[in-house]
């Protein structure tokens, strides 16, 4: 078994004040399987720009420009995240939701 070691001590991740990383249960509990690349790109964007409550007010046109998604792909990705219970949306507000305790059925 290979021993884990830090490769770059000066660049060890720290949680910035007011922000956090992606919850590992996204992968471990299988929520990621309910997403496609477009919805995952949107999720990463929203996690990156959201405030301490997971809220983002970015306009869809800005999100499309920054993520290189088209508006139809953004809409489809958003709907997949809503269906997966990962994001809530009431135009123009997005909220990244806490990941449910149990994975998808």
42-63 pLDDT, tens digit per residue, is 999 999 998 878 899 999 999 9
104: pLDDT strictly greater than 60 = no
How many other CB atoms are found less than 10 A from the CB of residue 49? 17
Residue 24 has a pLDDT of 83
Give the C-alpha separation, 53 to 64, whole Å. Answer: 22
| Entry pTM | 0.82
Tokens of residue 21, six digits: 């990383």
Residue 103 has a pLDDT of 47
Give the C-alpha separation, 34 to 32, whole Å. Answer: 5
Tokens of residue 103, six digits: 């994975």
Mean pLDDT of 89-94: 93
């Amino acid at each position: 078994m290979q021993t884990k070691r830090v490769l770059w001590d000066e660049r060890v991740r720290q949680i910035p004040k007011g922000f956090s990383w992606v919850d590992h249960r996204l992968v471990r509990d299988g929520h990621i399987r309910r997403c496609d690349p477009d919805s995952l790109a949107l999720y990463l964007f929203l996690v990156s720009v959201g405030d301490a409550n997971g809220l983002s007010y970015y306009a869809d046109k800005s999100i499309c420009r920054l993520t290189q998604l088209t508006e139809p792909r953004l809409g489809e990705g958003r709907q997949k995240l809503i269906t997966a219970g990962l994001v809530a949306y009431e135009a123009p507000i997005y909220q990244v939701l806490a990941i449910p305790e149990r994975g998808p059925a």
